[in-house]
Amino acid sequence: MDTRELVCIICPIGCRMTVVKDDYVSLGYKVTGNTCNRGEAYAVKEMTNPTRVIPTTVKIKNAQLNRLPVKTNAPVPKGLIFECMNIINKVEVEAPVRLGDIIIENILGTGIDVVATKTMEKI
Which positions touch ligand SF4 (CB under 6 A)? Answer: 8, 10-11, 13-15, 34-36, 38-39
- Tell me, what amino acid is at 22? D
Judged by beta carbon, residue 8 or residue 88, the one nearer ligand SF4 is 8
- For residue 30, the minimal CB distance to ligand SF4 (Å) is 15
Judged by beta carbon, residue 14 or residue 28, the one nearer ligand SF4 is 14
Judged by beta carbon, residue 38 or residue 122, the one nearer ligand SF4 is 38
| Secondary structure class of 108 (helix, strand, coil) | helix
- For residue 75, the minimal CB distance to ligand SF4 (Å) is 16
Judged by beta carbon, residue 39 or residue 88, the one nearer ligand SF4 is 39
- For residue 107, the minimal CB distance to ligand SF4 (Å) is 28
Report residue 53 CA to chain centroid gap: 1
Cα–Cα distance between 9 and 56 in angstroms, integer?
19
- Tell me, what amino acid is at 92? E
Spell out where the chain has E strands.
3-7, 16-21, 29-32, 51-52, 55-61, 67-72, 76-77, 92-94, 102-104, 114-116
- For residue 111, the minimal CB distance to ligand SF4 (Å) is 26
